[in-house]
Amino acid sequence: MSPENATSAAKPALRWVWACALVVCIFVASGQSQVAAPNIIDFDKFAHFSVFGLLATLVARALGGSDRRRWWAILIVSAYGACDEIRQSFTPGRSVEVDDWIADTLGAAVAVTLYQLWPAYRALLERKIFQRRLRTDMQPAAIAKPAPTAEAPADCPLSQ
C-alpha cells in the first residue's frame, strides 16, 4: 500500500478519535458512585443534554455524508445513552433515570439539527485549529528577489 493510500484510508478512522474519547470519558464518569457537580437544580439534565449533544455532533461528523447518516448519529447516541443509564443501575449509589435518557436524546437531536441546518455553526466546528497561515503582505516574487546592495561611496574607509 502506498503512503498516499494509507493516509486516505486512515482519515475516516481518525474522524472517530474524538467521539471515542468522549465515549470513554462518559463511561468512566458514569461508573463513579458520585460525580462532582454544582448544587444547581437539574444541572445534571443540562450536562446530559450538552455532553450527548457534543457526542452526537462528533458521530455525525465521523459518519459524514448525507442527512440520513446524521439521523443515524442521533439514533446511535440515544441508544448509547440508554445503555449508559442501564449500566448505572449496577453502580452503587447510582440509578436509572429516564429523564437523563430523554435529555441525552434531546441534546443529540438539537445538536445534530443545528449542525445540519445552520451553516455558520457547522463552519465554526469544521474550522481547523492548528492551521498555518501564509503571510499575505509578502508576495512570492518579492521573497525570491535578492535585496539590492548599495555600493559604498569612494571616500568611505570601508570601500578601500
Q: Does residue 45 belong to any structural domain of this protein?
A: yes
146, three cell numbers: 535578492
Give pLDDT, residue 68: 80
Asked whether the predicted pLDDT for residue 133 surpasses 70, the reply is: no
Asked whether the predicted pLDDT for residue 25 surpasses 60, the reply is: yes
145, three cell numbers: 528577489
Hey, how many other C-beta atoms are within 10 angstroms of the C-beta on 52?
29
Give pLDDT, residue 77: 97
**What's the whole-number mean pLDDT along residues 131-138?**
60
Instruction: Determine which of 45-54, 97-106, 123-132 has the lowest per-residue pLDDT on average.
Output: 123-132
**What's the whole-number mean pLDDT along residues 24-42?**
80
Q: pLDDT, tens digit, for every residue of 71-102?
A: 899 999 999 999 999 998 888 888 888 999 99
Q: Does residue 105 belong to any structural domain of this protein?
A: yes
Question: Residue 89: how many CA atoms within 13 Å on its side-chain side?
Answer: 8
Asked whether the predicted pLDDT for residue 105 surpasses 90, the reply is: yes
pTM of the entire structure? 0.71
Q: What percent of the chain has pLDDT over 70?
A: 73
Q: pLDDT, tens digit, for every residue of 46-77?
A: 999 999 999 999 999 888 877 788 889 999 99
Rounded to whole angstroms, how far apart are CA atoms 3 and 150? Answer: 49
Q: Does residue 117 belong to any structural domain of this protein?
A: yes
Q: Does residue 152 belong to any structural domain of this protein?
A: no
**What's the whole-number mean pLDDT along residues 20-49?**
85
Q: Does residue 139 belong to any structural domain of this protein?
A: no
Q: Does residue 96 belong to any structural domain of this protein?
A: yes
Containing domain of residue 8, as a range?
A: 3-130
Q: Does residue 12 belong to any structural domain of this protein?
A: yes
Give pLDDT, residue 34: 74
Under the banding of pLDDT at 50, 70 and 90, the label for residue 131 is low
Rounded to whole angstroms, how far apart are CA atoms 34 and 27? Answer: 13
Q: Does residue 43 belong to any structural domain of this protein?
A: yes
Give pLDDT, residue 154: 60
Count up the domains in the chain and report the number: 1
